[in-house]
Structure 1
Amino acid sequence: MTRTVSNAGPRLSVLTNPRAERVKAVRALGRRSARQRAERFVVDGPQGVREVLRFAPGSVTDLYVDDAALQRHRDLVDVARDANLPVHQCSSAVMAALVDTQHPQGIVAVCRPVDVPVADALADDSGFVVILAHVRDPGNAGTVIRSADAAGARAVLLSDASVDLYNPKVVRSTAGSLWHLPIALGGEVAGLIAACREHGRRVLAADGAGATLLPEADLSGPHAWLMGNEAWGLDEATRDLADDVVRVPIHGHAESLNLALAATVCMYASADRSAVHPTS
């Protein structure tokens, strides 16, 4: 069921039926299989929507906004309209049905994937990149992408055994960084390492078993940080593929650092010592 309202702009048809097929189709994008079939994913909340409209508006297929968000985020709605994107106003019940979050933020974009081929992600042969090997936790993966963006990484590569980049929790955790730097998906870890070497990058494995302490590591020149699984890190065979294995020194009694935190520390060390800084 729909009703038509008029605001300070073109008239919008308001979606009021939470069981409508359109609503079910968007809700289904919370599942990986549905995302792969539709080649679409969901961006939930004003931060992510703002960044995709700013950096990749062509990837947006539809924007959904409830009554409250229509007033609160009028600027985003206007940007979408100016870009001739379909904007759908909806009731709060429909918004709650669109996304699987306890407290919907009132604005949702449906988008096309934005990942790029590995060769394209590595086209800029300066600075450093990040390889995520078997990283399974959505929050960790998204936070590493956000930190990579902040530290000035040239790209992020996710192995095919890692969490789906378009998992809603990953997308939220990137806080918009998903659209700020090239991200490539798929391939075995060994293949991603080989691709980095083909583009002139040394590979540094970040692991607690490393003999080289981070302050002593050679971070000059183009390189790639290899980050392992949250629970078991990197296995010996994978560590042996790297040019060096580096560990972050632990000065207190903590057993280890969280993956996202350790990755952030390593990337900022690269940024500081390689004079690689994020662009404004």
Structure 2
Amino acid sequence: MLTNPRAERVRSVRALGRRSSRERAGRFVAEGPQAVREVLAFRPETVVDLYVDPQVGDRRTDILALAHQHDVRVHECSPEVIAAMGDTGQPQGLVAVCRPVDVDLAAALAGAPRLVVVLTNVRDPGNAGTVIRAADAVGADAVLVSDASVDIYNPKVVRSTVGSLWHLPVVRGESVETLLHACRQVGLRTLAADGSGDQLLPDTDVRRPHAWVMGNEAWGLEPAVRDACDEVVRVPIYGHAESLNLAMAATVCLYASAQVMRRGE
């Protein structure tokens, strides 16, 4: 059992909370039962090591069974070691070290996609992770995250996806210009979601394949990005709220698309 919170192995896992360390090691961390169960169920080949507090392992035999089924290395650790490895205030007793799961742009857009999300200049980890989760929930084909956005392997992003990171193709590292061009090349209309839009969401044609383009939490989409899109769409506000945050607006737009597209199936 690992019991020393200052051991080199523990420090190396903890370091994966920093982007520079993740990129250098080609690894990232997933914490907690939900994330660990989903990566073992959907992408077990990406799990390098699983660290477990035995008391938690006794309660989550389903997760340990998945780990053993896929020959994942399991290391028992004291609660102090688990706490030292992660960055949460309330450790949940399970930490998986994983290989990246993002795919290249061509692979993500192969097979005639119908509904895609593009994130550009999205900096808040919770928002980015929640949009990935919403995209998964509506059955979107892919999420494309621009190089100017938060790292999808940031621990807060991973937690916010609640496992959805392993359910659908996610692209990272490309410029928004490249992402928009690729969407157009495969026949996707680009719909900029922005509070400045003249087009209201209920009046927007979402029957044809399209990509929702979402911008920064504070300033929205840059003018050049809005101009490059086919339409600029606004979610109507019927009450007194000043606006919707990014994750809320994205979820509303995605469900509007999914409901219409599924009725046409």
1:10 aligned partner: none
1:276 is displaced (CA, Å) by: 7.5
1:275 aligned partner: 262
Distance 1:67 1:180 in 2: 28
Pairing partner for 2:140 from 148, 153, 159: 153
Number of residue equivalences: 264
What letter corresponds to residue 28 of structure 2 in structure 1? F
Distance 2:68 2:263 in 1: 37
Identify unmatched segments of 5+ residues in structure 2. Answer: none
2:124 aligned partner: 137
Describe the superposition over 1:6-29 as per-residue Cα deviations: whole angstroms up to 9, x where unpaired: xxxxxxxx1111111111100000
Distance 1:226 1:169 in 2: 22
Identity %: 64
Distance 2:230 2:245 in 1: 23
Distance 1:211 1:149 in 2: 28
Distance 2:159 2:250 in 1: 19
Distance 1:204 1:219 in 2: 9
| TM-score scaled by length of structure 1 | 0.93
What letter corresponds to residue 252 of structure 1 in structure 2? G
1:254 is displaced (CA, Å) by: 1.1
Distance 2:143 2:255 in 1: 15
1:42 aligned partner: 29
1:126 is displaced (CA, Å) by: 3.2
| TM-score scaled by length of structure 2 | 0.98
Describe the superposition over 1:52-109 as per-residue Cα deviations: whole angstroms up to 9, x where unpaired: 0000000000000012111111221121112111100011111111111111000110
What letter corresponds to residue 53 of structure 1 in structure 2? L
1:30 aligned partner: 17
Matched, 1:237 2:189: no
Describe the superposition over 1:121-166 as per-residue Cα deviations: whole angstroms up to 9, x where unpaired: 1113232100001000000000000000001110000000000000
Give matches, 1:65-80, under 5 Å: 65-80=52-67
What letter corresponds to residue 202 of structure 2 in structure 1? P
1:236 is displaced (CA, Å) by: 1.4
Which has the larger displacement, 208-217 or 66-75?
A: 66-75
**1:275 partner SS:** helix
**2:174 partner SS:** coil
Distance 2:230 2:27 in 1: 38
2:153 aligned partner: 166
Which has the larger displacement, 140-149 or 234-243?
A: 234-243
Matched, 1:225 2:209: no
Distance 1:190 1:114 in 2: 23
Which has the larger displacement, 188-197 or 67-76?
A: 67-76
Pairing partner for 1:248 from 232, 235, 238: 235
1:179 is displaced (CA, Å) by: 0.5
Identify unmatched segments of 5+ residues in structure 1. Answer: 1-13
2:4 aligned partner: 17
1:107 aligned partner: 94
Alignment RMSD, CA only?
1.1
Structure 2 contact 114–210 (Cα < 8 Å) conserved: yes
1:199 is displaced (CA, Å) by: 0.7
Distance 1:66 1:108 in 2: 9
What letter corresponds to residue 105 of structure 1 in structure 2? Q
What letter corresponds to residue 23 of structure 1 in structure 2? V
Which has the larger displacement, 181-190 or 40-49?
A: 181-190
Higher Rg: 1
